[in-house]
Chain A
Amino acid sequence: MGVSVVLPRALLPYARGLGTLKIEEPCPTVRDALQATAAQWPAVIDRVLTEQGALRRHVNVFVGDESIAFLDGLDTRVDDGETITIVPAVSGG
């Protein structure tokens, strides 16, 4: 079944306009899911993770309805069929 990765509007140009990316391969963690996404859509993940693989400071990632900031970060477990949502944080100036 795999997982779904839902993108915010700002990242659609880097995924040929697709709002939801389907990852078919097994992804035990969020990190695995993002790496699998990067294999197909590297430009999307360039904007989500730094060169060192860290989540950018003002980007939030949810598994289901819960932010990974309150779970295990990129090591948060992902179940088959789960939806991962990437959201720009409420920040600015």
Chain B
Amino acid sequence: MGDVLVLVGTTKGAFVFTSDAARTRWRVDGPHFPGEAVYSLAFDQRAGRTRLLAGVHSNHWGATIRTSDDFGRTWSEAERQAVRFPESSGLSLAQVWQIVPGRAEEPDVVWCGVEPAALFRSDDAGVTWSPVQGLLEHEHRPRWMPGGGGLCLHTIVLDPTNPDRMGIAISTAGFYRTDDGGKSWRARNSGVRAVFLPDQHPEFGQCVHKVTHHLARPERLFLQNHWGLYRSDDWGDSWQDIANGVPSDFGFPIQSHPHEPDTVYAIPLQSDEFRVVPEAKLRVYRTQDAGASWAPLTDGLPQSKAFESVLRDGLAVDSHDPAGVYFGTRSGKLYGSHDAGERWKAIAEALPPICCVKTAVVGTA
């Protein structure tokens, strides 16, 4: 009880880091799935489970979801390809980008976002999956364009107060919301720029990199865009620029604090063309006033010649108090802070390139 898991997906397998609540000493287990890329990981501890879910991609044999109920000692995989597009769609699964356990009231529901952009739902805790037809058949689909990572649905945000409402984000299509349980989806990108298009404020087509929110204020979203940091106070109906005090508003990850609705973390990058941290200083930026201002967190992080970058799912925050904050770089370094970002230490320094970092406190379903 209180032990912390930090799940790290890399281009060559997954690693499971474990610590007690002090989060000063870490055990590492892995690699799981050596040689295969892991772009999504999740831990589901609803309904008495301790289930790890991993989105694994074999360069040869395709993408799949594997599960473990014993913290990674053994893994299971559906014999048939469980996440699969219907033949009528003309689409084939390329990658599983996101796995999100559903609401507490729906303990067997799990969602996953995939490439090409689609949302799948499982009603048996991740064993079998079905596509969400309302999004699969969306009228905008023919005009969605892939970003550098492919046409991926990488973000899923659930409304804990309304089972019919959720949001998703697609690169490059933008943020979409459903208010009817997935039957219909509307683009919600008003105010978000698309600097790479002639019309910089289209209805859709924005390259949203990540969206986060606090469960106590689910209607307020924070969005890291392909250029642009934004906040919405109305579930995405409108967005305001909050890039106040960051060295760049380009970046990928953004993550809410577990206990403070006004606190959010981001890791800006220099630019679209030069995707490393500005001035080669590895800085996590934190706002504690919902984006009115941002300040760098640097204690323990290299502040010169650090040509690092962090991908969209490379930043995670645990639910202890003070919160633990973790991020992984494309150069295979995993950093952690057990005091909400005030001080940092390298947990691992020579992993394969890190695709995603997720965390959970065991026993806090």
Q: Which residues of A contact B (CB under 8 A)?
A: 10-11, 14, 42-43, 46-48, 50-52, 54, 56, 58-59, 88-89, 91-93
Contacts and interface: CB of A to CB of B under 8 A. Distances in A.
A93 B62 contact: no
B355 to A, nearest CB: 13
Contacts of A51: 81, 84-87, 91-93
Name, among B61, B79, B92, the residue most crowded by chain A CB atoms within 10 Å (CB to CB). B61
Given A46-B62, A52-B90, A91-B60, 19 more contacts: A10-B58, A14-B79, A42-B79, A43-B79, A46-B80, A47-B58, A47-B60, A47-B61, A47-B62, A51-B84, A51-B85, A51-B86, A51-B87, A51-B91, A51-B92, A52-B85, A54-B92, A88-B61, A89-B60
Nearest to A92: B59
B79 A10 contact: no
Contacts of A89: 60
Nearest to B82: A46
Interface residues of B, number: 18
Contacts of A43: 79-80
Contacts of B84: 46, 51
A58 B162 CA distance: 43
Contacts of B40: none
27 contacts: A10-B58, A10-B60, A10-B61, A14-B79, A42-B79, A43-B79, A46-B80, A47-B58, A47-B60, A47-B62, A48-B61, A50-B62, A50-B93, A51-B87, A51-B92, A52-B85, A52-B87, A52-B90, A54-B92, A56-B60, A56-B61, A56-B62, A59-B60, A59-B61, A88-B60, A88-B61, A89-B60
A42 B80 contact: yes
B172 interface: no
A52 B80 contact: no
A59 B87 CA distance: 21
B11 A52 contact: no
Given A50-B92, A54-B92, A93 B11 contact: yes
A46 to B, nearest CB: 4
Nearest to B61: A47
A43 B82 CA distance: 10
B61 A91 contact: no
The 10 closest A-B pairs by CB, nearest first: A50-B92, A47-B61, A46-B81, A88-B60, A43-B79, A58-B60, A51-B92, A51-B84, A51-B85, A52-B92
Name, among B60, B61, B85, the residue most crowded by chain A CB atoms within 10 Å (CB to CB). B60
Nearest to B83: A51
Interface in B70-124: 79-81, 84-87, 90-93
B86 to A, nearest CB: 8
Contacts of A10: 58, 60-61
Contacts of B91: 51-52
B201 to A, nearest CB: 36
Contacts of B81: 46-47, 51
A56 B59 CA distance: 9
A79 to B, nearest CB: 27
A17 to B, nearest CB: 14
A10 B60 CA distance: 10
Contacts of A47: 58, 60-62, 81
A89 to B, nearest CB: 7
A58 to B, nearest CB: 5
A91 B87 contact: no
Name, among B11, B59, B80, B87, the residue most crowded by chain A CB atoms within 10 Å (CB to CB). B59
A49 B81 CA distance: 11
A33 B93 CA distance: 23
Nearest to B94: A50
Contacts of A92: 35, 59
A7 to B, nearest CB: 11
Nearest to A10: B61
A51 B58 CA distance: 16
Nearest to A91: B59
A48 B92 CA distance: 12
Nearest to A42: B80
Given A51-B93, A52-B87, A58 B80 contact: no
Interface string B57-69: 0111110000000
